[in-house]
A = this chain, B = another copy of it.
């Protein structure tokens, strides 16, 4: 059956992609959690597996025997309604299950799920597998950024590999694209997969605005630093100002100055800063302060979605001014799967676009990513808007 075939292919590819991302790692790299936001790679590999076991195999696979009775406890992330979870700050304190155990667990679940798909035509299952695939793709992006954090905060600055390119310079020239005021439709209208938070297609009224066709570069960001941007309290939110004081923040994450030369840690190791590459690893707070300094502003997520056909995007997740909130008529899925998105809709900012770490076909113009405003370990970036 065609649908199953495609789904199965997609499922198997996703499973092997996750493992390929981890291929350059040493076993030790799989284990640690240097900050609370970064999870150990072996946890990602186990958690995405548990998702398929918990929500599909345990329910739909006849006589399914769980791989290990305690793994649900170890690999649950935040599904409070499913049971007690390992507190997020403790994930890096678990040396067991080992990496090898986790790969066995993966194989076990992958093959059972493959069997289930091959003998089954239940649309409900297909839908859940699709969610599981997209869930795992999200974690692939986190895997890359978490690996970068694990390696990039090590005093030995080990590299991930020699091929992952994250800082291409763009040679297009900068200009502002004007969007006329009017009523626009927002939200996902297609028939492929999307998350519940993109649904509820609805209209919004926008004023005229002009949006840059290009991301802010390292060079432009350096001008902000050199103009004492980090020292001028008037540019910053009150909470941001406390954050830069307490954390002694003076530049984006992963920037180092050695003998007066600026370097940036990348997945290929420590490299001289490329002035023409788009700035990355900045918080919303920094993106906002930069925009204030420029006398411009960040786009709302609606302005971004309406304008996006007119510029290239996908290298950096772009901070927007929009707080992460439900769309009109947002419906949470019932039960534990309803915990996927809705419960995070407070105190976070929406990012739009995608990044060099995003798996192929995993983002789209309506995709809504979200993070707390101080977080920087994703490949975040910044695009400006002018009012006319």
Residues in B whose Cβ lies below 8 Å from that of A80: 233-234, 241
Q: Residue A32 contacts which of B70, B93, B99, B202 (CB distance < 8 angstroms)?
A: B93
Considering the chains assembled together, what is the distance between the CA atoms of A237 and B99 in angstroms? 32
Task: Give per-residue flags for A168-188: 1 if the beta carbon is below 8 A from chain B beta carbons, else 0.
Answer: 000000000000000100000
Is A86 part of the contact surface with B, judged by Cβ < 8 Å? Answer: yes
CB contacts under 8 Å to B, within A143-159, are 150-151, 153-156, 158
Tell whether, in the assembled complex, residue A322 and residue B325 are in contact, meaning their CB atoms are under 8 Å apart. yes
Tell whether, in the assembled complex, residue B328 and residue A325 are in contact, meaning their CB atoms are under 8 Å apart. no
Task: Give per-residue flags for A324-335: 1 if the beta carbon is below 8 A from chain B beta carbons, else 0.
Answer: 011011000001
Residues in B whose Cβ lies below 8 Å from that of A42: 28
Residues in B whose Cβ lies below 8 Å from that of A153: 93
Tell whether, in the assembled complex, residue A156 and residue B28 are in contact, meaning their CB atoms are under 8 Å apart. no
Residues in B whose Cβ lies below 8 Å from that of A90: 34
Is A345 part of the contact surface with B, judged by Cβ < 8 Å? Answer: yes
Specify the chain B residue showing the minimal Cβ separation from A27: B27
Task: Known A205-B205, A207-B202, A207-B328; judge A32-B95 contact (CB<8 A).
Answer: yes
Tell whether, in the assembled complex, residue B237 and residue A98 are in contact, meaning their CB atoms are under 8 Å apart. no
Considering the chains assembled together, what is the distance between the CA atoms of A239 and B370 in angstroms? 14
Considering the chains assembled together, what is the distance between the CA atoms of A344 and B82 in angstroms? 37
CB contacts under 8 Å to B, within A329-364, are 329, 335, 338-339, 343-347, 349
Tell whether, in the assembled complex, residue A329 and residue B387 are in contact, meaning their CB atoms are under 8 Å apart. yes
Q: Residue A28 contacts which of B31, B323, B339 (CB distance < 8 angstroms)?
A: B31
Interface size of A in residues (CB-CB distance below 8 Å): 69
Tell whether, in the assembled complex, residue B238 and residue A343 are in contact, meaning their CB atoms are under 8 Å apart. yes
Tell whether, in the assembled complex, residue A94 and residue B347 are in contact, meaning their CB atoms are under 8 Å apart. no
Is A29 part of the contact surface with B, judged by Cβ < 8 Å? Answer: yes
Tell whether, in the assembled complex, residue B29 and residue A95 are in contact, meaning their CB atoms are under 8 Å apart. yes
Tell whether, in the assembled complex, residue A96 and residue B156 are in contact, meaning their CB atoms are under 8 Å apart. yes
24 contacting pairs across A/B (C-beta < 8 A): A26-B95, A27-B98, A28-B30, A28-B42, A29-B95, A31-B95, A32-B94, A34-B93, A70-B155, A70-B156, A97-B156, A183-B183, A202-B207, A203-B205, A205-B205, A234-B339, A237-B344, A238-B343, A284-B346, A288-B346, A321-B326, A322-B325, A323-B325, A346-B373
Contacts A31-B31, A207-B329, A323-B325 given; 16 further ones with Cβ under 8 A?
A27-B27, A28-B31, A28-B98, A28-B99, A34-B93, A96-B151, A204-B205, A238-B343, A239-B346, A239-B347, A288-B346, A321-B326, A322-B325, A323-B323, A328-B387, A346-B373
